[in-house]
Structure 1
Amino acid sequence: MSDASHKQTGEKELRLFLVAGEHSGDALGGKLIAALKQRYDGALTLGGVGGEDMAHEGFASLFPIEDVAVMGPMSILPRLPRIMRRVYQTVDAALAFKPDAVVIIDSPEFTHPIAKRIRKRAPDIPIIDYVSPSVWAWRPGRAKRMRRYVDHVLALLPFEPDAHARLGGPACTYVGHPLIEKLDAIEGADGAALSRRLGLAPEKPVLLVLPGSRTSEVTRLVDVFGDAVARVSAKQPIEVVIPAVRHVRDLIVAKTANWAVRPHIVDAASADKYAAMRLARAALAASGTVTLELALAQTPSVVAYRVDKLIANLRFLLKVPSVVLANLVLGKNVYPEYLQEACTAEALSAAILPLLGDTPERRAQLEVLAATPGKLRLASSSPSIAAADTVLAVVSAQPGAGKSRRGGPM
């Protein structure tokens, strides 16, 4: 797709109000802003809530994103009064901004209450949801309810448009997962160079351990992962590498100090993470987006997860055959998953050991993982460009498009 041939022109400014509620949404928002600058030829004026990535594109946030960047009901409850103040502040600011469209980005606990209130007070403002809630996994009735306050969904996963159509949700376009933009970096990562730098024993297979990027995830998983590592190392000498994000690094260092195999801890924000994935013979990972990265890196893996008791009691609401994103994208449960009480050191080590050798289990995973890039790749553009083009198309399709909300030509 040629950027020039598809660039949209505008005589006057395009006003977009963007709302990201946590750091992964901020990363998407930053790339979306950069793509909008590429694809829209007129003046672009932005307002809303974002973080560092959006700020790098010249975006000024109403308040620090850290004020609302929390995950899960148990984390939200203690901060609910502050979050609700920020919700009302954001709604008032959006209406005062008089946008041509509002784009909410992920974090439905924060962004959807904002969208509902904007729709109630200004029903003519189009609202676009960048990242679909997991309506295909649980509480599917949310899809139909979203139609009241969301005009268009930008989906990261290829099966989500069909899911929204089946569930009566809003119009939905697959714009691609941002990880596909990192495919070259993943495939080109130099595992051998990392091995030399860390001084790894070449005769020992590398087990990559990924206990999560949030404090709550690491706290729940790191001890059972350590016990699994001990069981594996008792039968097969291994090296262990752990990519850690900055805010949980100290926790991981402390929790792994007495592991049977002393891990090599590298910076998850650097190229070392992908080099470690390419180097690893197998991985033990927390469920999450990292499973898609492992699939793109063609790394055989075992996946585990534990949540708080309140969420665990709601498991009967799940409507999917797997909670592992890589499995859902590939349409096959390629990565074995161990959740809650099934997440034991015995089970994890038993699943890891076959992946370290030349076994049918390992070969079966590699055969399925080879299809991952094709499942996520778009035919003719990057995800951020596709998202920007869809935002511009939604704005152009509105009654009165070509005029700003202040009455002049756009």
Structure 2
Amino acid sequence: MPDETAANNSRRIFLIATEESGDRLGASLIKALRLRLDDAVRFEGVGGRAMAREGLVSLFPIEDLSIMGFAAIPKQLPAILRRIRETADAVIAAAPDMLVIIDSPDFTHRVARRVRARCPVLPIVDYVSPSVWAWRPGRAKAMRSYVDHVLALLPFEPEAYRRLGGPPCTYVGHPLIEQAGLLRPDAQELRRRDAAPPVLLVLPGSRRSEIRHHMPVFGEALRVLRQSIPEIDVILPTMPHLVDAITKAVAGWPLQPRIVVGEDDKRAAFRAARAALAKSGTVTLELALAGVPMIAAYKGGAVEAWIAQRVIRVPSVILANLVIGENVIPEFLQKNCVPDTLAAGLGEVLRDTPLRRRQIEAFARLDAIMATDNQPPSSRAADAALAVFRR
């Protein structure tokens, strides 16, 4: 589009992403926007390492906003509020053509509200919907006052926004769609899935608080499971900065898992795995796309559990269940996250049972459910964002 580029040679886009997942989305969006606008665009804002590799100089390190659970928020609140003010001031000073806020709604939406109050004409796009369909549904309608368009990762979200009276919402696709081919086994790996001893993935989470809460009960569940399935090949994928904590946590387990680090080794483990014990979250969708039957569990702190019990309004907290539209993955949350129940659930998905077969059949429908017309999600997101700008 050379004519448009020439006519708009001072275009500036401000992006805000404060978590690693949002940082990766932001980096892909920058690439896609640059392809469409050539060199006639400048990016400013807040981001992490991935966005920095695309040339964005972050206003501050996103690690400043690392928060572990509800209970940790009060101690960090003054610093968070200061960063919100600084970021809103930076947006106004930059005078961009568009603001894109990416996930982290407790931070980014507060910035967006301040910016809208001071600059009502600035287009604001929200990339990654807050979970209005799960809790605090009134947020959807409130967002109309400061968000012009929502770019959704999940296919059911546009309908949720219509139902709740929120701003316009477009399904652009989940980034996991692009990784599906890397998660699915070839013929040799498929044979390993059916061979003995079965490969069991254990995925306790990526935060230290999750490791602290999940590792003891997961280890005890394996102890119980070995009474009925003595030989199990356990693989535990993790990240470099968590290896020491994981190694210490598994020291007392009845069998020592193979700890693998990095995306390549993690994907190889997904391709070989017969089943998984996973912390509830995005990883359940990743496993489902890989065709790995699973059970999901979550055990949080007392404050977090008390809040969650009172605000969550969906029939399942398992992301894969919500996307499929059917509760095919058993969830063991809080008081139900105990060794005996976890072991029993794992026995069902490791063996050839109706539950295992039902999950495999449901997972096979995901490609159609999450289809993006063969376009990468970042490309769809860039096109939708530019459409808002042009309007």
The answer on whether the counterparts of 1:8 and 1:41 sit within 8 Å (CA) in structure 2 is no
What is the rounded CA distance, in whole Å, between the counterparts of 1:369 and 1:138 in structure 2? 26
2:273 matched to which residue of 1? 280
1:151 matched to which residue of 2? 148
- Matched residue type, 2:171: Y
What is the rounded CA distance, in whole Å, between the counterparts of 2:304 and 2:321 in structure 1? 21
What is the rounded CA distance, in whole Å, between the counterparts of 1:310 and 1:187 in structure 2? 38
Gaps of 5+ in 2: none
2:118 matched to which residue of 1? 121
2:359 matched to which residue of 1? 365
- Matched residue type, 1:135: V
Identity %: 52
- Matched residue type, 2:239: V
Q: RMSD over aligned Cα, in angstroms?
A: 2.0
- Cα deviation for residue 113 of structure 1 reads 0.9
Distance change >3 Å, CA 8–CA 307, structure 1 → 2? farther
What is the rounded CA distance, in whole Å, between the counterparts of 2:256 and 2:134 in structure 1? 37
Distance change >3 Å, CA 166–CA 8, structure 1 → 2? farther
What's the CA shift string for 1:217-276, capped at 9, x where partnerless? 111111111111111112112111000112222111101012111100001x32111111
1:353 matched to which residue of 2? 347
The answer on whether the counterparts of 2:92 and 2:119 sit within 8 Å (CA) in structure 1 is yes
Which residues in structure 2 correspond to 1:5-404 (within 5 Å)? 9-11=5-7, 12-41=9-38, 43-187=40-184, 192=189, 203-236=196-229, 237-267=231-261, 269-314=262-307, 315-397=309-391
The answer on whether the counterparts of 2:68 and 2:207 sit within 8 Å (CA) in structure 1 is no
What is the rounded CA distance, in whole Å, between the counterparts of 2:296 and 2:353 in structure 1? 19
What is the rounded CA distance, in whole Å, between the counterparts of 2:319 and 2:166 in structure 1? 21
- Cα deviation for residue 139 of structure 1 reads 0.8
Q: Name the structure where helix makes up a greater proportion of residues.
A: 2
What is the rounded CA distance, in whole Å, between the counterparts of 1:213 and 1:301 in structure 2? 18
The answer on whether the counterparts of 1:32 and 1:385 sit within 8 Å (CA) in structure 2 is yes
What is the rounded CA distance, in whole Å, between the counterparts of 1:213 and 1:342 in structure 2? 21
The answer on whether the counterparts of 1:139 and 1:317 sit within 8 Å (CA) in structure 2 is yes
What is the rounded CA distance, in whole Å, between the counterparts of 1:188 and 1:390 in structure 2? 33
- Matched residue type, 1:322: S
| Stretches of 4+ aligned residues off by more than 3 angstroms | 7-10, 188-193
What is the rounded CA distance, in whole Å, between the counterparts of 2:170 and 2:5 in structure 1? 22
- Cα deviation for residue 203 of structure 1 reads 2.7
Gaps of 5+ in 1: 398-410
- Cα deviation for residue 109 of structure 1 reads 1.3
The secondary structure found in structure 2 opposite 1:124 is: coil
The answer on whether the counterparts of 1:144 and 1:169 sit within 8 Å (CA) in structure 2 is yes
The answer on whether the counterparts of 2:294 and 2:329 sit within 8 Å (CA) in structure 1 is yes
Distance change >3 Å, CA 159–CA 192, structure 1 → 2? closer
Scaled by the length of structure 1, what TM-score is found?
Answer: 0.90
Scaled by the length of structure 2, what TM-score is found?
Answer: 0.95
What is the rounded CA distance, in whole Å, between the counterparts of 2:111 and 2:246 in structure 1? 36
- Matched residue type, 1:303: A
The secondary structure found in structure 1 opposite 2:88 is: helix
Distance change >3 Å, CA 162–CA 212, structure 1 → 2? same
Distance change >3 Å, CA 73–CA 295, structure 1 → 2? same
What's the CA shift string for 1:267-316, capped at 9, x where partnerless? 1x321111111211110000011001100000000000122222322313
- Cα deviation for residue 380 of structure 1 reads 3.9
Distance change >3 Å, CA 191–CA 217, structure 1 → 2? farther
- Cα deviation for residue 116 of structure 1 reads 0.7
